[in-house]
Amino acid sequence: MKPGSIRKGISSTTKDTQLNVHHLLEHAAQAHKDQEVVTYRPNSVHRYTYEDMHDRAKQAANALEDMGVQAGDLVGIGTHSTHEAIELLYATASIGASPHFLNPESEQHSHYLVNHITKHAPMDYVFLHNDMADRPGELLPNPDEYSYVTYGEEERVVVHTGEYLGDYEDLLEDAEDEYEWPRIDEDTAVVMTSSGGTTGTPKAIAQSHRA
Sign (positive or negative) of CA dihedral 186, 187, 189, 191: positive
C-beta neighbour count of 198 within 10 angstroms? 6
Distance CA 138, CA 76 (A): 13
- The mean pLDDT of 158-185, rounded to a whole number, is 95
Sign (positive or negative) of CA dihedral 141, 198, 193, 78: negative
- Tell me the pTM: 0.88
Predicted pLDDT of residue 161: 92
pLDDT at 160 over 70: yes
H helices of 32-167, where? Answer: 50-67, 83-94, 107-117
Low-confidence winner among 37-51, 70-84, 97-111, 145-159 (lowest mean pLDDT): 97-111
What mean pLDDT, rounded, does the chain reach?
88
- The mean pLDDT of 27-55, rounded to a whole number, is 94
Distance CA 109, CA 194 (A): 10
pLDDT level of residue 131 (50, 70, 90 thresholds): confident
Contacts of 117 (CB under 8 A, 6+ apart): 74, 100, 123, 192, 204
Predicted pLDDT of residue 196: 67
Among 31-45, 53-67, 187-201, name the most confident range: 53-67
Predicted pLDDT of residue 2: 67
pLDDT level of residue 197 (50, 70, 90 thresholds): low
Distance CA 64, CA 196 (A): 29
E strands present in the chain: 36-40, 45-49, 74-78, 98-101, 123-129, 147-151, 163-167, 189-194, 204-208
Assess contact for 88 and 113: CB atoms under 8 A. Answer: no
pLDDT at 211 over 70: yes
pLDDT level of residue 1 (50, 70, 90 thresholds): low
Predicted pLDDT of residue 144: 94
